[in-house]
Structure formats: structure tokens, C-alpha cells
Amino acid sequence: MSPKPALISGKKLVKIFQALGYEKVTQKGSHIKVKNYATGSVIIIPDHKELDRWTLKTILKQADISEEDFNNILR
């Protein structure tokens, strides 16, 4: 069983995705759209102080990033 993803804010997650090659495209209300132009992948990240674990798991799945890889990125 993989470890739970760490609790993280939406803004910090956007910064991590930017480090992974995504660019912030737009923000509508409390949702930030980031896009990786190399892969065409588009991810919507809620701008919340703390993302729900299920929301984070869904975002990571959309980006094809395992929870283990994500936790390694945070270290």
C-alpha cells in the first residue's frame, strides 16, 4: 500500500507543476488551469489552502504522476 499523499495547498501544487514543465494558463475564480505544452496535458487545480486528499489523488492521476513519485518530489 502506497503512503498517503501529503497535505498541500493549491498554490504550492501549481508551483510543483510549473517545475515539472506546466505553465499557468488561466485562473477562473478559485480554479487554476495549468498546461504542459509538450504533452498537451491540462490540469485544473483548486486554489484552496489545503487540498482534499481525493482531489489531489485525482489531479495526480490526470497528470500520470504516482503518489510515490509525488511524495519523492516533495522531499
Q: Residue 7 contacts by C-beta under 8 Å, 6 or more apart in sequence?
A: 50, 51, 53
- pLDDT tens sequence across 8-54: 999 999 999 999 999 999 999 999 999 999 999 999 999 999 999 99
> What are φ and ψ of residue 28, in 5° steps?
-120, 110
Domains of the chain by start residue, with CATH: 10-74 (3.30.920.30)
CB 51 within 8 A of CB 8: yes
Distance CA 73, CA 20 (A): 10
Task: Decide which of 67 and 6 is more confident.
Answer: 67
CB 6 within 8 A of CB 74: yes
pLDDT at site 3: 61
Which residue's entry shows cell 503512503? 3
